[in-house]
Amino acid sequence: PDENVVISTRSSTRDQVTTREWNDLPSELLPSIADRLGIIELLRFRGVCKDWNFASSTASAEIEALPNRDPWFLLYGENNNSQCTVVTESGKQYIIAIPEMDGATCLASSQGWLLLYREGLIFFFCPFSRARIDLPVPTKFPPMGISDHVAVFSTPPTSQDCVVCIICRTNKTDDLELYVIHRGATSWTKHKLNSFPNKIECAAYHNGVFYYFDNTDLMVCFSIKDRSISLGKVRYVKSSNERCIPLRFISNVEKEDMKKRLDLELGDVSTCGTTVSCLNADKMVPYENRANAKGGGTRRSKGVWFQPRFHQIDKMLSW
């Protein structure tokens, strides 16, 4: 609202209209209003004044991130600046300045958090609240990029049991390296897997194990408890009675439908992998690398599917 907005109320005993200025609303009413707002409305609410901003300090816009809701899309890096395009599931587009996305590459997306790499740093980031949690700087990490780094994290970074796992190829060989860090650790641990020539396209986490899937039916599994890497083969369940991991790949039909509804030309956009929370089985959206531009250059446009949340954290929170 602007400075000329007033709130009108009608007395229950008299047919009279009274007015109250927007900045004079009861303080106890503001938080309940903020809790019922969606992401975009919450951002506007917080920008009204200091009191409204403070009153929304615990809001998270959970309504936007309910299970089985389609993710939103964040397009960034088009002109190598902080201007980003946010596209909602209904197709509405908003231009938002997010300085942290300038020069960044998104490595993973889950539950409203993005895992970003920027200028040698790796950190968790919420694009709306701009909450940020820095991870220890990795040493001797291969150069970052969507094309050859696939990441996933076990739980939100505010959880004490959060673990981050990034897999990448070494020096264009068939060997894979796995970098793992637990919350509270000061350094990354490295694990190696020899001779895995296929490209990793999807990643997910379930019950203490990280799963990395290629474009066939093979998968790389890393157990947090055993600190071991193993190879496996994907087997699809044929009945509801079979035991299974509650994960599924997003279908081509679903993926194309998302693109159509968003009305975006994503053919030249490098898209980060995403895990979408669902009630029965989480959906995995694959990485899509579009690095080969005309003339041999690299496309600057990048994108990520994400479930919109308004995460807020204590400024003193550390990894």
Task: Specify the pLDDT at position 293.
Answer: 40
Task: Specify the pLDDT at position 209.
Answer: 95
What tokens does 168 get? 């990448």
CA distances from 256 to 21, 261, 274, 289 (A): 47, 9, 15, 16
Question: Residue 271: is its pLDDT beyond 80?
Answer: yes
> Which of the pair, 122 or 239, is modelled with greater confidence?
122
**CA neighbor of 89 nearest in space, from 213, 292, 222, 259:** 259
Residue 113, burial from CB neighbour count under 10 angstroms (0-12, 13-18, 19+): buried
Percent of the chain with pLDDT over 70: 78
CA–CA dist 194, 250 (Å, integer): 29
Domains of the chain from N-terminus onward: 27-66 (no CATH), 67-291+299-306 (2.120.10)
Task: Specify the pLDDT at position 296.
Answer: 41
Residue 138 CA from chain centroid, whole number: 21
Provide mean pLDDT across the span 148-162.
91
Q: With bands split at pLDDT 50, 70 and 90, how would you rate the model's confidence at 116?
A: very high
Provide mean pLDDT across the span 13-41.
68
What is the phi/psi pair of residue 256, to 5°?
-65, -35
Task: Specify the pLDDT at position 216.
Answer: 87
Contact, 264 vs 75, CB < 8 A?
yes
Task: Specify the pLDDT at position 143.
Answer: 60
Task: Specify the pLDDT at position 9.
Answer: 44
Q: Which amino acid is at 61?
A: A
Least confident of 17-26, 56-65, 159-168, 288-297: 288-297
Provide mean pLDDT across the span 196-225.
91
Provide mean pLDDT across the span 114-120.
90
Question: Residue 20: is its pLDDT beyond 70?
Answer: no
Locus of tokens 């600057």: 300
Question: Residue 224: is its pLDDT beyond 90?
Answer: yes
CA distances from 125 to 111, 205, 237, 285 (A): 11, 19, 35, 19
Strand order in the sheet with 209-214: 200-206, 209-214, 218-223, 228-233
Using one digit for the tens of pLDDT, what is the confidence trace for 89-108?
888 888 989 999 998 989 99
Question: Residue 16: is its pLDDT beyond 80?
Answer: no
Using one digit for the tens of pLDDT, what is the confidence trace for 119-140?
888 999 999 888 999 999 877 6
Task: Specify the pLDDT at position 175.
Answer: 84
Q: With bands split at pLDDT 50, 70 and 90, how would you rate the model's confidence at 63?
A: low
Tell me how far apart the terminal alpha carbons of the chain are, to the nearest angstrom: 37
Contact, 106 vs 302, CB < 8 A?
yes
Q: With bands split at pLDDT 50, 70 and 90, how would you rate the model's confidence at 316?
A: low
Provide mean pLDDT across the span 228-255.
84
Percent of the chain with pLDDT over 90: 25
Provide mean pLDDT across the span 223-238.
88
- In a 3-state reduction of DSSP, which class is residue 196? coil
Q: Which amino acid is at 295?
A: G
